[in-house]
Amino acid sequence: MLKDIIIKGARENNLKNIDVTIPRNKLVVFTGVSGSGKSTLAFDTIFAEGQRRYIESLSSYARMFLGQMHKPDVDFIEGLSPSISIDQKTTSHNPRSTVGTVTEIYDYLRLLYAHIGTPYCPNCNKPISTQTIDNIIDQVLTLKEGTKIVILSPVVRGKKGTFAKELADYLKEGYLRVKIDGEDRMLDEDIVLDKNIKHNIYLTIDRLIIKPEMHTRLAESLENALKLSNGVVIVEADGNETLYSTNHSCPECGYSIEEIAPRLFSFNTPFGACPNCSGLGFKQIIDETKLIKDPNLSLIEGAISASGWAYDTGMGNMFYRAVANKYGVDVNTPVKDLPKEVLNTVLYGTKGEKIDVTYRYKGEMTTSKMKFEGIIPNLERRYRETNSDYSKAEISKYFSEVECSMCHGKRLKQDALNVKIKKLNIIELTDLSVTRILEFIDSLKLNKTQEQISNPILKEIKARLNFLINVGLGYLTLSRTASTLSGGEAQRIRLATQIGSGLTGVLYILDEPSIGLHQRDNDRLLATLKNLRDLDNTVIVVEHDEDTIRSADYIVDIGPYAGVNGGEVVASGTVKDIINAPRSITGKYLSGQLKINVPDNRRPISNGYIEIKGARQNNLKNIDVSIPVGVITAITGVSGSGKSSLINEILYPASSNVLNRSNLAEGKYKSIKGLEKLDKVINIDQSPIGRTPRSNPATYTNVFNDIRELFSKTPDAKERGYNAGRFSFNIPGGRCENCTGGGINKIEMFFLPDVYVTCDVCGGKRYNKETLQVKYKGKNIYDVLDMTIEEACVFFENVPKIYNKLKTLNDVGLGYIKLGQPATELSGGEAQRVKLATELSKRSTGKSLYILDEPTTGLAMYDVDKLIKILNRLVANGNTIVVIEHNLDVIKIADYIIDLGPEGGENGGQIVAVGTPEQIAKNDKSITGKYLKSYLK
């Protein structure tokens, strides 16, 4: 086995034909300024080639399903191991995925509860044991004499298939009736079931009438049913079905639960999921508050403007007047003053009752009796029935998630929730933090039989919980939905999962694992990375964090700058080698030659405060917070301490609803004051700037409108009669119609994933030949979109309207990305900086509140310096900045700090310290202050 990974002639993206040698089985950090080519070398070259070689080693049959892998533009790579990439993409957008399911800890907990859990009766709150057939007979005979009952054997429950053979066999055995998916059928009918749908098949064993002398026949029928369906029988009486089981039942009241198996605790199967919400824990319903746009208006003035129900539509006007006439109210009455009965009828309909409706028919007014469906049932029905994405999107605006009324957000059916270990059911256990669950598991006292059964399960659970704690995620709950995790949290969960797998001889490539981590938790993360290395793996980390760089066995510094000015290896080796490299910007910061200076003076707090009282969202402990206006405030604290709950779930929605007239859901708090000091609030988060490749930095910042306008004024365009619309790739005219301006075409592969190929007509240039013939300074519209922002700044330097917008993009460190780079290819940090640049290019009122969540994501120290200058520029114009941040270089330049903690999760949510960085550094209770001290020297 080679000692090194050797790369020669790497030219992917901006890499300049570089040669790199990376020692194997070491912790290697790739660093350099943002856009220098680190990720291109790590992911687009090394990982891509490792992945490609692995796939090429598979059979041609397997490769057929995996598709052709792109070969990186590199001459030679040797010494590669099987490669695993752990990036920052959110784990899953599926609402069924939780931290527990992603880490597989929940699967082991299901096994644990199935084997050593004790079922309790929900009525008597006593442990329940197995039930005999005599107990079942006694329960059935308590029914009123003369009651008609049906004995059913549930032979198929929630399984896919046609079951033709089974149904034929039951007919041969003499059975005549069957209940399929709730419908009574005769077995001699031609029964055809959809093999792709899950079915419930209950065989009718007997039909009886309750009377004293029926004991023998009832016993025979129940025995027969129990035998056919493995100890479970259903007795239907007066349309109500009662399940009995010989497995578990309450001796007091007869409550019965079927066999306790792992699937009972799964909210992703019909056997365990709450039947009301199908295991989601919530239901989507039309929200009345979202439907009524302005309660001060009347119905015919536009109080409700939902799709199809605006006051100026025929249907809306017609039914609004009809309901008003029915109740004798004035149709011009504001909605807030309408009697409850009237508004309920408008929203939910007449429940089948016909009312007089007047409408125009063939030019004449006609009155007829009609049923009124109601706005909410109408919208719900249209949402279910429509195939139009646009219609669904329009109607979905009025939906809100509400907690399921049956399971109260617990996702499981009652039978599963009645099984407990040490008085906690499985959902109550997963609602605890990872740290608390480990304490719970360690505190279990088991008998010898239970120990023998559960030891292997407990070993796996403990190991996985410890891995999560070691990567700084001990504050998470296992019940937390995966889609709510930040990119950094999702990445560290995958890292913990990989450590748990125990693989050796693997090449791991990670993208900034320190994102979202407090300096205290970073130490644990570094120990985890070294542990991964010590298992004889090679660990390559793309990272800007100074502690991670200093902890590396080997460093590769790519640069010197971004984009076309980067792509070279400026230094490699130990920290000492990087510091001594004259061209390394990273080395200059590590040596202290370059540094981010502490401000000589902090800005005084002279404009008052935004005051939040009684904040209690998530883990916040009913705290009162004062955020100064007109300065930079850093919100700090260990991971999970409550920073996002306070700022993203309370401050932003509450201030946006007042200042921006939004309608956002607000977290729990008592009151907020001081917003009158501000004009608007701007949340510059890391969500994408667009959902499709048609969105890009040029379209988001609106500079593309100016560029199109400029092209329309060229002599060529004027001669041809082209206006600005001609240069849009979103509308017919100038775009390539073969790909409708996308530059790529989708080929449907039916049973295989769709394949995207470059358009063979325009060659991926999006426009038709005629449009591309129009040039400005020798460049056509495609050439301009293909320029980096840095290149475009030079190209348009004599066009102030365009240059000023491009310069702000360049100022925030995005000079290396292309003007037309698809939004889907931008990282969260890049998207955030595009938004920041867009706001910077607008005319400032000087009274805006800017909220930023970890803006240093993806930024090297050199770029952090640029970001700080921009933040100072915004505050100098009279704006207020609130920034959630772990980066100590940003924290040290803040005017004011609010430090939350002291720990994460349930042990956080309190204010530990407030004040200037100097005051925080002196506070012994502040973990942030402990690490901040050295940065203030």
Query: CA 473 → CA 186, 295, 491, 510, 769, distances in Å?
Result: 57, 45, 11, 17, 54
| Run of H or E residues at 234 | strand 232-237
Strand, coil or helix: 52: helix
Nearest-angstrom CA–CA distance, 95 and 101: 11
| 638/706 same-domain check | no
| 126/254 same-domain check | yes
Structure token digits, residue 581: 């490299």
Question: Domain with 192 in it: what CATH number?
Answer: 3.30.190.20
Residues 595-611 have pLDDT tens digits of 999 999 999 999 999 99
Summarize the confidence of residues 493-507 as an average pLDDT. Answer: 85
Strand, coil or helix: 39: helix
Structure token digits, residue 20: 């790199």
Structure token digits, residue 308: 């199809």
| 130/230 same-domain check | yes
Looking at residue 601, what DSSP letter applies? S
Nearest-angstrom CA–CA distance, 816 and 788: 6
* Lowest mean pLDDT, pick from 199-203, 487-491, 686-690, 819-823: 487-491
Longest dimension (CA), the chain: 104
Task: Report pLDDT for 301.
Answer: 84
Residues contacting 603, CB < 8 A, separation 6+: 630, 631, 632, 875, 895
User: Is the residue at 272 inside a domain?
Assistant: no
Task: Report pLDDT for 293.
Answer: 81
| 774/800 same-domain check | yes
| 577/631 same-domain check | no
| 521/642 same-domain check | no
| 128/199 same-domain check | yes
| 317/354 same-domain check | yes
- Rounded to two decimals, the pTM is 0.75
Helix extents (H) in 634-788? 643-646, 652-659, 697-700, 703-712, 715-720, 769-772, 781-785
- The single-letter code of the amino acid at 501 is S
Residues 131-164 have pLDDT tens digits of 788 888 888 988 999 999 999 999 988 888 999 9
Of the residues 361, 388, 403, the one at which a domain ends = 403
Structure token digits, residue 259: 């066999």
| 669/757 same-domain check | no
Per-chain mean pLDDT for the chain: 89
| 584/644 same-domain check | no
Summarize the confidence of residues 46-69 as an average pLDDT. Answer: 80
Residues contacting 794, CB < 8 A, separation 6+: none
Nearest-angstrom CA–CA distance, 394 and 481: 26
Of the residues 559, 591, 623, the one at which a domain ends = 591
pLDDT band at 313 (very low <50, low <70, confident <90, very high): low
Among candidate residues 861, 912, 909, 916, the one with its CA nearest the CA of residue 893: 916
Cβ atoms within 10 A of the Cβ of 725, count? 13
Residue 703: burial class (beta carbons within 10 Å; 0-12, 13-18, 19+):
buried
Which structural domain, as residue segments, surrounds residue 340? 284-403
Question: Domain with 10 in it: what CATH number?
Answer: 3.40.50.300
Among candidate residues 586, 826, 564, 593, the one with its CA nearest the CA of residue 32: 586
Nearest-angstrom CA–CA distance, 517 and 519: 6
Nearest-angstrom CA–CA distance, 930 and 824: 39
Task: Report pLDDT for 251.
Answer: 55
User: Is the residue at 804 inside a domain?
Assistant: yes
Residues 286-297 have pLDDT tens digits of 888 888 888 888
Nearest-angstrom CA–CA distance, 148 and 695: 65
Among candidate residues 156, 241, 150, 165, the one with its CA nearest the CA of residue 204: 150
The domain total for the chain is 5
R_g over Cα of the chain: 33
Query: CA 838 → CA 508, 693, 699, 806, 835, distances in Å?
Result: 36, 19, 11, 9, 5
| 136/235 same-domain check | yes
Per the CB < 8 A criterion, the answer to whether 724 and 705 are in contact is yes
State which of 68-82, 208-222, 576-590 shows the largest mean pLDDT.
576-590
Nearest-angstrom CA–CA distance, 682 and 652: 8
Per the CB < 8 A criterion, the answer to whether 898 and 635 are in contact is yes
User: Is the residue at 877 inside a domain?
Assistant: yes
Query: CA 888 → CA 546, 547, 706, 854, 892, distances in Å?
Result: 11, 12, 39, 11, 6
Residues 597-656 have pLDDT tens digits of 999 999 999 999 999 999 999 899 999 999 999 999 999 998 889 999 999 999 999 999
Residue 1 has pLDDT above 70, yes or no: no
Task: Report pLDDT for 109.
Answer: 97
Nearest-angstrom CA–CA distance, 580 and 558: 15
User: Is the residue at 370 inside a domain?
Assistant: yes
pLDDT band at 528 (very low <50, low <70, confident <90, very high): confident
| 818/796 same-domain check | yes
Summarize the confidence of residues 418-438 as an average pLDDT. Answer: 95
Residues 456-471 have pLDDT tens digits of 999 999 999 998 998 8
Nearest-angstrom CA–CA distance, 55 and 722: 49
Residue 527 has pLDDT above 70, yes or no: yes
Percentage of residues of the chain with pLDDT beyond 70: 96
Strand, coil or helix: 616: coil
Structure token digits, residue 184: 């009574």
Summarize the confidence of residues 712-741 as an average pLDDT. Answer: 93
Residues 240-258 have pLDDT tens digits of 888 887 877 665 566 777 7
User: Is the residue at 493 inside a domain?
Assistant: no
Task: Report pLDDT for 91.
Answer: 52
Of the residues 375, 403, 431, the one at which a domain ends = 403
User: Is the residue at 429 inside a domain?
Assistant: no
Residues 338-377 have pLDDT tens digits of 999 999 998 999 888 888 888 877 778 888 888 989 989 9
Residue 66 has pLDDT above 80, yes or no: no
Give per-residue burial for 308-345: e unless 16+ CB within 10 Å, then b.
ebebeeeebbebbbbbbebeeeebeeebeebeeebbbb
Task: Report pLDDT for 751.
Answer: 47
User: Is the residue at 457 inside a domain?
Assistant: no
Residues contacting 611, CB < 8 A, separation 6+: 624, 625, 626, 627, 671, 672, 673, 674
Nearest-angstrom CA–CA distance, 12 and 38: 11
Strand, coil or helix: 368: strand
Question: Which residue is it, tokens 């194997």?
Answer: 24
Question: Domain with 764 in it: what CATH number?
Answer: 1.20.1580.10
User: Is the residue at 831 inside a domain?
Assistant: no
State which of 318-327, 390-399, 927-936 shows the largest mean pLDDT.
927-936
Question: Domain with 291 in it: what CATH number?
Answer: 1.10.8.280
